[in-house]
Amino acid sequence: MAEPGTKPRWEPGALTPYAFITPAVLVMLGGLLYPVVMAFYLSFYDWEIGRDLGEAPYNGIAHFARMIQDPQVWEVLWVTLRFGFWVITIEMTLGIALALLLEKPIRGASFFRTIFILPLMVSPVVVGLIWRYLFDARAGWINYYLQAWFGIEPQVWLGDPQLAFFAIVFTDIWQWTPFIFIIIIAGLQALPSEVIEASEIDGTNWWQQIFLVKLPMIKSIIIIALLMRIIDVFRGLEVMLIMTGGGPGRSTELLSLHIYKRAFETQQLGYASAISVLLIIVVFGLSLMILNMANPMRTRSDV
């Protein structure tokens, strides 16, 4: 160990760990940065499918100026933020609650764990088809059982803006709550038993053990799960495209679906790239905000 005030000596094996992780880092940078840079680059050109990029006219910041003045973009961004708020809030709450209930080896816990993760095994396309038929106004099972059990008249679930929004929120909760459940229960089962036993000896009840011991110890895992869901909400496309196509109107059109329509239905690839840049900025800003809230900067006080 170097003496205080002296410069530490370089050791021959100090760079070995970096040599091992460098290939993986380069692959990740190539896979992550290249699409982002290309999206930003294409946003300056009026490019269409079938046209060589070198022949596409240069538009400068015209697409960004158009995006700022486009009410459709801000409408679908608001829909995306509302959708994200509801699904993330409910999924995080349900996922953590289920993990806390099923973390202990109680009778039937393994069976229920298996049942809860089944929706994750279903393709998003299949999920969209399943719930589209379940919410069907004429032949859907949801209307049938609501009328048979509660006497509720059949609803046009996917034809009414409010009901359609509720339908895609409910579908996303059904599909992705197991994702939160798996991550949280893995974190809970990895907690050191000594800490839990010490808290029991100190006389903590079940609620105190959850909120004062367990959840604070898996705080980083909860933040990771939250960030992953935020990112996934903004890239969600398949289920909404199949269930509602973004309608009625734009009541269920998320930002990613709007980008898809601009790029492949109207062939406005340059404008779609500009909106993609907005999506990246929003996701980056939300992620940064969550990280700052989870790890607030602490000022060093003089001793």
- Find, among 47, 80, 40, 35, the residue nearest to 64 by Cα: 40
The token pair at 199 is: 């808290």
Predicted TM-score (pTM) of the model is: 0.85
Q: Are 6 and 233 spatial neighbours (Cβ–Cβ below 8 Å)?
A: no
Report the pLDDT value the prediction gives residue 267, as an integer from 0 to 100.
Answer: 85
Q: Please report the pLDDT score of residue 9 as a whole number.
A: 60
pLDDT digits (tens, 9 = 90+) for 235-250: 888 899 999 988 888 8
Half-sphere exposure of 210 (CA within 13 A, CB side): 12
pLDDT at res. 4: 57
Q: What is the pLDDT of residue 303?
A: 39
Q: How many CB atoms lie within 10 A of CB 121?
A: 8
pLDDT tens readout for residues 209-221:
888 888 889 998 9
Q: Which domains does the chain have, with CATH numbers?
A: 66-293 (1.10.3720.10)
pLDDT of amino acid 302: 41
Euclidean distance between the first and the last CA atom of the chain, given in angstroms as a whole number: 26
Q: Which two tokens stand for residue 300?
A: 């060093």
Number of other residues whose CB lies within 10 A of the CB of residue 100: 17
pLDDT beneath 70, residues of the chain: 1-13, 105-106, 108-109, 296-303
User: Is 42 in contact with 259 (CB distance < 8 Å)?
Assistant: no
Q: What is the pLDDT of residue 298?
A: 45
